[in-house]
Structure 1
């Protein structure tokens, strides 16, 4: 397995230019149990180091309230900042609920443009070798 990339049943992640890219797989349904697995795998992958997180939720079909709460709080562990990337009306709704109601504890913003999301995260990135 390539150590610079990790995949579980919900998402793929990799590190590029000091940013963790986290992309949900198509039609992902995120329950509290799934959220716990996602966060646990991401933190292990990051080796418990802080990174800005590019979180592409365009593949997410749904996330229940408990999962969103978990991702907003515990999911912010080892995250300097989070850029949530959306496109469809459904992903925008999920993203806005997450940011507005669940109130993540790290700086977090919603983006429809991937380049804007990366630019936002660059200010939080540290180059890792």
Structure 2
């Protein structure tokens, strides 16, 4: 039986729609290297080891460590990365990741969930 959701101490990863995986962090999350390894592994598990579009909800995230950013950047799990933000802090975290970590996959920041999902599902 296929698994549809994996949770850890500081994350929840699940199938949002067929072909898209979502990662949520709890309010005030401080994402560290262990969290990052577990999230990457969870995404790969749900995607059957194949790269897949990933939506990350950063609205409640407080910090992401340097080591966690490196782990996320080097991950081959996402084929596209949409970062869903709300607060100025979550927007800063997302923009910092794109600007400094420079992921090897297309990555964008969104304030609208429907726009983020639409972009992830667009093959163009």
What number of residue pairs does the alignment pair up? 121
- Structure 1 counterpart SS, 2:105: coil
Residues 49-58 or 92-101, more deviating: 49-58
1:56-95 matched pairs, under 5 angstroms: 56-74=57-75, 77-95=76-94
- Distance in structure 2 (CA, Å) of the matches to 1:69 and 1:51: 19
Match of 1:30 in 2: 31
Match of 1:114 in 2: 113
Unaligned runs of 5+ in 2: none
Q: Is the 8 A contact 2:21 2:46 kept in 1?
A: no
Match of 1:41 in 2: 42
Residues 104-113 or 43-52, more deviating: 43-52
Cα offset, 1:69, TM superposition? 1.9
Unaligned runs of 5+ in 1: 125-129
Residues 107-116 or 48-57, more deviating: 48-57
Cα offset, 1:31, TM superposition? 1.5
- Structure 2 counterpart SS, 1:43: helix
Cα offset, 1:48, TM superposition? 0.5
Q: Is the 8 A contact 1:10 1:38 kept in 2?
A: no
Q: Is the 8 A contact 2:13 2:42 kept in 1?
A: no
**Normalising by structure 1, what TM-score?**
0.85
- Distance in structure 1 (CA, Å) of the matches to 2:61 and 2:83: 12
> What value does the CA root-mean-square deviation take over the aligned residues?
1.5
Residue 110 of structure 2 is aligned to residue 96 of structure 1? no
**Normalising by structure 2, what TM-score?**
0.88
